[in-house]
Structure 1
Amino acid sequence: MSGDVHISVRNLVEYVFRSGSIDARFRSQSTLSDGTRIHQKIQKTYCEGDQKEVYLSIEIPYDDLTFVIDGRCDGLLFENDKITIDEIKSFSQPLEQLEGEGFQVHWAQAKMYAYMYAKDNVLPDIFVQLTYVHVETEEKRFFKKNYTFSDLETFVFQVIEGYTPYAKLQQEHHLQRNLSCKELAFPFENYRAGQRKFSGGVYKTILDGKNLFAKAPTGIGKTISTLFPAVKAVGEGHINRIFYLTAKTITRTTAEETFARMRSNGLCLKAVTITAKDKVCFKEETKCHKDYCEFADGYYDRVNEAVLDILTNEAAMTRQVIESYARKHSVCPFEYSLDLAYAVDAIICDYNYIFDPRVSLKRLLEEQKKSTALLVDEAHNLVDRGREMFSASLNKEIFLQLKKDFKSNNNVIFEAASKLNSFFLSLKKAHDNKSEFLLEQLDVAFLEQLTQFLKEAEQVLKSENSPKLLEAYFMVNNFLKIVDLVDGHYVIYGERNQNDVTVKLYCINPAKLLKQMGKGYRSKVYFSATLSPLPYYQDILGGDVEDYVQSIPSPFSEEQVDVFIKPLSTRFKDRDRTKDFIIAMIKSLINHRPGNYLIFFPSYQYLRSVYDQFKQEDKETQTIIQSTGMTEVEREAFLAAFAPDQNETLLGFAVLGGIFSEGVDLIGDRLNGVVVVGVGLPQLCFERNLIKDHFNKQGKNGYDYAYVYPGMNKVLQAGGRLIRSEMDHGTIVLVDDRFLQKQYQMLLPQEWKQFTII
């Protein structure tokens, strides 16, 4: 076996020399820009003739592999015929905390550059210097050593030897993977109607390096229709990595099952599922530091072995598999899954690992992005999730609490929290008669106080453990990160709630930021059964004119579903008046068409009021009801009640847009009908009205953007629970007079348009 292993100097030395513990108790937030600023400042002090950001590369054959190593060294200094490689590192801890002569991994990086330069220029020896600079005080410490060429060569080959087992494993796997992807046949007997067309669209999108917005109906098999062409694109060398992004656990499971199905047909591909930290943590509380957690203590000393072990033995790295290997090697399961994400071929995870500026997988280099495709499942959910990711808020309460907590034991924090509390108080007084109020911009003094608070809190958190202060620290830090993003797509507003006041940076249109976060990836495929109307989603998810757009007709026939419209008003003011008619309609429906039904209501309150009256009038019919905050077990029990071939009618009362109206698969006789009460419009509220006004100003239909499209999406999702296969038949009842209006009619799927008015 032979092959090239391309790797950067930094990644190589970090793999070989990483050691120590995870410690998220407090990590100074010195940003990337701090590092860049300090590098530039030091580089400006170089003498004439010195060089900065020098690109170096080398090819080293070793054990049947050729290592192609490259990177940029910070500085190349020339003085009295002596040459020095300079490696600059910014440091946020006090410089006296630097152990000995600096960190081993930093020396390793500098020595790699020194070897590359010395070999290129046939030098017998060369100086290596580490320059540590404190981010705030800009105090400097220098360490300088001289190395002979043969010392450096011995060292470099030791580093490569340390990396080789991993490199060989990956090299062998990639050869097998590419061959198996190439030879893989579609893992079902035949394509469903529209499925080949959708798969072809996904493949062409990846091939052309474009983005695709696809409305792909329920029952077409969206997961296999996107994953299969992406896998084929890996086999053809167009991409090297696939992200399958989803908002819900249930769709993650579908992706895992789809990979398993392809594996049973000969696919050799490694996939990891990333589960949220709180869910996989082995400890009572999620406190990531070595004094509390044995899985964090010494994590980096053990993780390489853990990664090699799982990659050697497993292809499907699901939550259960990761947890068992994490216990075996005593490593944190969450951090372990993130480390694996950089080593595998496919990653199944939540949207935020790509799009959220606070948690995205930042070690994915631009080079790797170019060979990565993003498959965004249920992409209609990304609109509100995007708004959430790019918004931030702060409230008075947290600073008032800190003021009380630190009054007697830390005057600096007490003062900083007092100033912030006063700012919120003055805001409250200025807008005394309003519950919500717009702010033109944020007070510069307020932002300075927040920055000062971070600095003060940072000093305290280095030496003591204060959960409240840490929480405030992260909230302020997050708020200031979002402040940097605020532009014309944002609204800043305040909200009064009894004695508390909140300031919110609200991202109204997430398009620009979603586009920015997805930049650099070869291809993005946004797909959903309810990506309708397509121009709206293309606009609000950051699409471009040159993106591909695809709308696949439903594979099911109109004969499979009977659609009825009951034109009643379900508007808030009319609900009591029309409640009796809704109950009469439900009774008539189950008399004429007994079976299992899901009945969706726009709010829990509305649901409860109809349910209670129905139960009083009909004590015979079996009913179950969605309750607020259901556990995993309760959810499963709710769905399990929908058993096939039941002799009695079952009515499941649920909330529109809730956990049972999306991603739920009740195939065949498990579900015979769906009743949707209302057009799903979000409740009139301050934020929705801000969205409406924003898009009206842009010459678009703000009411549609804020209310109609998000509402009808919930209706389409709920109705989509019914027909899941060619064998399914059923009834849909839409209860609202607005379903007969043109703007709502246009949003109904083709197969619902042959309706009967009752």
Structure 2
Amino acid sequence: MKEIKISVRGLVEFLLRTGNIDNRIHHAPDTAMQEGGRIHRMIQKSQGGDYEAEVPLTYSITRENYILKIDGRADGILRKADSPVLVDEIKGTYRDLKKIKTPDEVHIAQAKCYAAIYLRDNDLKEISVQITYCNIDTEEIKRFTYDFTAEEITAWFDDLLEAYHRWADFMATWEDKKIESIHRMQFPFEYREGQKDLAAGVYRTIYHGRKLFLEAPTGTGKTISTVFPAIKAVGEHKAERIFYLTAKTITRTVAENTFDVLRNQESLEFKTVTLTAKDKICVLDKSDCNPVACPCAEGHFDRINDCIYDLLTSEDDFNRDLIMEYAAKYNVCPFELSLDMSLFADAVICDYNYVFDPFVYLKRFFSDGIKGDNIFLIDEAHNLLDRGRDMYSAELWFETLNNTRLLIEQAHPKIAGLIKSCETEMQKIMAFTDYCEVLVDISPLMQKIGNMSKIISKWLEDHAEGQYRDDILDFYFDILTFETIYELLDDKYVIYAEYEDESFKIKLLCVDPSENLKLCMARAKSTILFSATLLPIQYYKKLLGGTKEDYEIYAHSVFDPGKCGRIIATDVTSKYTRRSEYEYRKIAKYIHDITTEKSGNYLIFFPSRIFMDDVGIIYEKEFFDEDTQEILVQNEMMTEEDREEFLSRFTPGNDIDFGSIINMEVEVEESKSILGFCVMGGIFSEGIDLKEDSLIGVIIVGTGIPQVCNEREIIKEFFESDGEDGFDYAYRYPGMNKVLQAAGRVIRTENDTGIVALLDERFVQRAYADLFPREWKDIKLVSTSTVKNTVNALWSGLDDNLN
């Protein structure tokens, strides 16, 4: 008979929550949990020999088709002669204990659950529970004690379990339907060449509990090839839940569609939820989570469980639209609703940060270092490196300190004085920093910051409202972020100080995020990291937390290489030392000569916006023909609607006016070629799917290497000291990934034909050419004098191949 498991804490927090969402109530930071462990141990050791610490307790109740199992660990159980057994629940807090008049109801309920289980196990007539609060700073203790008869505590506990049975009944029934449907499920398409082996490799990785680094070129069907075996593994009880992790919204849509295909074509019973960022799903223009500002926040917890049950029993795909619909129906927060639905989902589709970010990860799954039976599917995994660096790095700006102090010093002189002491320490560092300086020790500054953050935390607890409270809260979060990252510092970090645009900052730079990412991946049974561009794979394997025992696969492209012509221009470059009007004109002529050989749609990627503008001005002035071409330009700030409109112009027959995003408002005939001027590494260089005639060519200007700056130089020096090629790690590999991602826009299906033009002489160098995918064969070298004839010949060959 199957088991439905829930922890004591999870049970009471889910069933007994009531009231409002209120961000004005300040909660202690996560460091309280770490300090709380110390407090637990201190109190437990002080209780003497009659006190047993960390007592595991389990209670099971058998239903018709399942066993409900509740388990947990009591902080302490005190047995004294002539006194009832006492169950102790210890809570560390930063709050002033004098202001705690009664214990939190959830804390009492947690202790009562442990007491009810212990009483039944030991056939007791009565039992006591105690809530012990201990101030983490002062170690002051305050206790609340309650006595219960056996009848009272068991009746209360049975009522609590009865309230949970409708959820457990549903989950047990759903589990049977899900597993049966998975066993019936077949692969929904005809296997492409090598795809069955690829899916098998994913399944084997999950079976052995390893990580897989998968380079899967466009056309290999990497999404279905990872999702299908992961679901099969769930069906064989190798895992409980799938997390499909992405860096971009568009790839989340691909994952949603893949699960939908399996539900519709293969009758799969599988519940999925898509987590959308709070600011994108909030009913307010700017999220403000309190009952005064938001009608959804008032009484949210009184209504949320009924909403969850309705959605859970009515739908299988908890996508953004459905989350919004049900949230409106019950007047609850859509963001919180989506998080709650993740508890009941078989697959969670979400951004990387819900697993990896130390500040916003899903604590309901990953707190306390528990390793779950999860599968992580990490799409576009090449993005995880820079995202990992960002998530585990932090900056402290002198201006943040100074501006906050000046703002609040009249209203809050004590806090302002603490900020001033931090400014003074920072000024000492500024005094010996010329332009950029690597720092060895900032402990004096961190001591000042630690003292300040504790005082601010206490002030926020005591003041739900007040002058400049929002400003102080924002400042507190900035400081807390810096403190938290500082606690993570190890030999994979570099601390540096830098003047930037007349501002000054200290940065805790996570140069190598591999250890932090590895710890997060340990929360899963198995992790599959996949991308169309994961070369060189050892570079990514090293920096994304791989080990020697983990697997790697290079999937062969299923597309005919003869359907894509590739050229390298040998007489132009984007090198900074060669940038000039003369060079820009040659590049503009290349673009003209390539795009006029065959009418159609092209994307042209530039190394920067400034470079794009410089070439664009010359192209428009000297080569642009408004009768045969239209130019679309990627703007610096584009909404999702702007992006969709930009891309929709590449669809034949679209006659919508997009004057807001194109650089000239003209009526466009179908026969006109569309040239999209874009920035490499930007929103249009990966994750977009322009098939067949929507796009016939990609032109890439430059090698994509990041601009030289202090931080990139620090990264370079770090890896050189580690025995690696620093330039490769800091510049060449990240740049080539942008190039390969951009090149991957042009051939999306086996029916597509197109060309890829690399406009930089450096691509002929072995250091770059060795990074080309193995299917890039027969690349033509061209010059300004030969490019037209070569492109013409390529198209003739491609057209013959197509016919």
Shorter chain as denominator, the TM-score bin is: over 0.9
Match of 2:87 in 1: 85
Distance 1:397 1:247, change over 3 A: same
1:220-242 Cα deviation digits (max 9, x unpaired): 22111111111111111111100
- For residues 746-757 of structure 1, the aligned pairs below 5 Å read 746-757=770-781
Match of 1:670 in 2: 694
Q: Which of 746, 752, 775 is the equivalent residue of 1:728?
A: 752
Distance in 2 (CA, whole Å) between partners of 1:498 and 1:672 is 42
- For residues 20-59 of structure 1, the aligned pairs below 5 Å read 20-25=19-24, 26-29=26-29, 31-59=32-60
The one-letter code of the counterpart of 1:649 is S
The one-letter code of the counterpart of 1:297 is E
Match of 2:205 in 1: 205
Q: Which of 587, 590, 604 is the equivalent residue of 1:585?
A: 590
Match of 1:495 in 2: 498
Q: Does 1:229 align with 2:223?
A: no
Q: Does 1:479 align with 2:506?
A: no
Q: 3-state SS of the aligned residue for 1:176?
A: helix
- For residues 383-532 of structure 1, the aligned pairs below 5 Å read 383-431=385-433, 434-442=434-442, 444-462=443-461, 463=463, 464-465=465-466, 466-497=469-500, 499-532=502-535
User: Which shows bigger deviation, 356-365 or 723-732?
Assistant: 356-365
Match of 2:646 in 1: 638
Q: Does 1:381 align with 2:386?
A: no
Match of 1:703 in 2: 727
Match of 1:263 in 2: 263
Distance in 2 (CA, whole Å) between partners of 1:532 and 1:3 is 44
1:175-199 Cα deviation digits (max 9, x unpaired): 11111111111112x0122322221
Once the two structures are TM-superposed, the CA of residue 728 in structure 1 deviates from its matched residue by 0.2
Q: Is the 8 A contact 1:270 1:315 kept in 2?
A: yes
Once the two structures are TM-superposed, the CA of residue 499 in structure 1 deviates from its matched residue by 4.5
Q: 3-state SS of the aligned residue for 1:363?
A: helix
Distance in 1 (CA, whole Å) between partners of 2:63 and 2:369 is 24
Over 6 Å off, 4+ runs: none
Q: Does 1:741 align with 2:747?
A: no
Once the two structures are TM-superposed, the CA of residue 332 in structure 1 deviates from its matched residue by 1.3
Once the two structures are TM-superposed, the CA of residue 718 in structure 1 deviates from its matched residue by 0.5
Once the two structures are TM-superposed, the CA of residue 512 in structure 1 deviates from its matched residue by 1.0
Q: Is the 8 A contact 1:357 1:517 kept in 2?
A: no
Distance 1:499 1:596, change over 3 A: closer
TM-score w.r.t. the length of structure 2 is 0.91
Distance in 1 (CA, whole Å) between partners of 2:441 and 2:355 is 29
Distance in 2 (CA, whole Å) between partners of 1:282 and 1:518 is 33
Match of 2:178 in 1: 177
1:480-529 Cα deviation digits (max 9, x unpaired): 00001111111101111355311100010111111012113100000001
Q: 3-state SS of the aligned residue for 1:550?
A: strand
Match of 1:716 in 2: 740
Distance in 2 (CA, whole Å) between partners of 1:420 and 1:103 is 36
Q: Is the 8 A contact 1:15 1:163 kept in 2?
A: no
Q: Is the 8 A contact 1:241 1:373 kept in 2?
A: yes
User: Which shows bigger deviation, 49-58 or 421-430?
Assistant: 421-430
Distance in 1 (CA, whole Å) between partners of 2:20 and 2:691 is 48
Distance in 1 (CA, whole Å) between partners of 2:371 and 2:283 is 32
Distance in 1 (CA, whole Å) between partners of 2:762 and 2:326 is 55
Q: Unaligned stretches of 5+ in structure 2? A: 654-669, 783-803
1:91-122 Cα deviation digits (max 9, x unpaired): 3333343344x232222222221222222222
Distance in 2 (CA, whole Å) between partners of 1:369 and 1:448 is 33
Q: Is the 8 A contact 1:680 1:714 kept in 2?
A: yes
Match of 2:561 in 1: 558
1:350-372 Cα deviation digits (max 9, x unpaired): 11111111111122158974311
1:7-43 Cα deviation digits (max 9, x unpaired): 2221112222122322223322252112112211211
Distance in 1 (CA, whole Å) between partners of 2:338 and 2:39 is 33
Distance in 2 (CA, whole Å) between partners of 1:698 and 1:292 is 52
User: Which shows bigger deviation, 459-468 or 212-221?
Assistant: 459-468
- For residues 616-631 of structure 1, the aligned pairs below 5 Å read 616-617=621-622, 618-620=624-626, 621-631=629-639
Q: Is the 8 A contact 2:134 2:141 kept in 1?
A: yes
Once the two structures are TM-superposed, the CA of residue 395 in structure 1 deviates from its matched residue by 0.7
Q: Is the 8 A contact 2:243 2:349 kept in 1?
A: yes
Q: Is the 8 A contact 2:378 2:528 kept in 1?
A: yes
Q: Is the 8 A contact 1:390 1:510 kept in 2?
A: yes
Distance in 2 (CA, whole Å) between partners of 1:602 and 1:559 is 28
Distance 1:460 1:118, change over 3 A: closer
Identity of aligned residues (%): 41
Q: Is the 8 A contact 2:585 2:619 kept in 1?
A: no
Q: Is the 8 A contact 2:274 2:318 kept in 1?
A: yes
Once the two structures are TM-superposed, the CA of residue 213 in structure 1 deviates from its matched residue by 0.3
Distance in 1 (CA, whole Å) between partners of 2:14 and 2:702 is 56
Q: Is the 8 A contact 1:198 1:216 kept in 2?
A: no
TM-score w.r.t. the length of structure 1 is 0.97
Match of 1:655 in 2: 679
Q: Is the 8 A contact 2:394 2:481 kept in 1?
A: yes
The one-letter code of the counterpart of 1:4 is E
The one-letter code of the counterpart of 1:374 is F
Distance 1:305 1:193, change over 3 A: same
Distance 1:43 1:501, change over 3 A: same
Distance in 2 (CA, whole Å) between partners of 1:427 and 1:104 is 48
Q: 3-state SS of the aligned residue for 2:453?
A: helix
Distance in 2 (CA, whole Å) between partners of 1:680 and 1:534 is 19
The one-letter code of the counterpart of 2:415 is I
Once the two structures are TM-superposed, the CA of residue 425 in structure 1 deviates from its matched residue by 2.5
Match of 1:108 in 2: 109
1:312-332 Cα deviation digits (max 9, x unpaired): 111111111111111112211
User: Which shows bigger deviation, 633-642 or 12-21?
Assistant: 12-21
Match of 1:243 in 2: 243
User: Which shows bigger deviation, 539-548 or 335-344?
Assistant: 335-344
Distance in 2 (CA, whole Å) between partners of 1:499 and 1:413 is 26
1:51-98 Cα deviation digits (max 9, x unpaired): 111111122235654322221111111222322111112233333433
The one-letter code of the counterpart of 1:232 is K
Distance 1:445 1:178, change over 3 A: same
Q: Is the 8 A contact 1:424 1:501 kept in 2?
A: no
Q: Does 1:609 align with 2:617?
A: no
Equivalenced residue count is: 752
Q: Is the 8 A contact 1:692 1:702 kept in 2?
A: yes
Match of 2:7 in 1: 8
The one-letter code of the counterpart of 1:331 is V
Match of 2:141 in 1: 140
Q: Is the 8 A contact 2:214 2:552 kept in 1?
A: yes
Once the two structures are TM-superposed, the CA of residue 738 in structure 1 deviates from its matched residue by 0.9
Q: Unaligned stretches of 5+ in structure 1? A: none
Distance in 2 (CA, whole Å) between partners of 1:418 and 1:146 is 51
Q: 3-state SS of the aligned residue for 1:117?
A: helix
Q: 3-state SS of the aligned residue for 1:438?
A: strand
User: Which shows bigger deviation, 346-355 or 19-28?
Assistant: 19-28
Distance 1:632 1:237, change over 3 A: same
Q: Does 1:321 align with 2:322?
A: yes
Distance in 1 (CA, whole Å) between partners of 2:94 and 2:408 is 24
Q: Is the 8 A contact 1:412 1:456 kept in 2?
A: no
Distance 1:590 1:176, change over 3 A: same
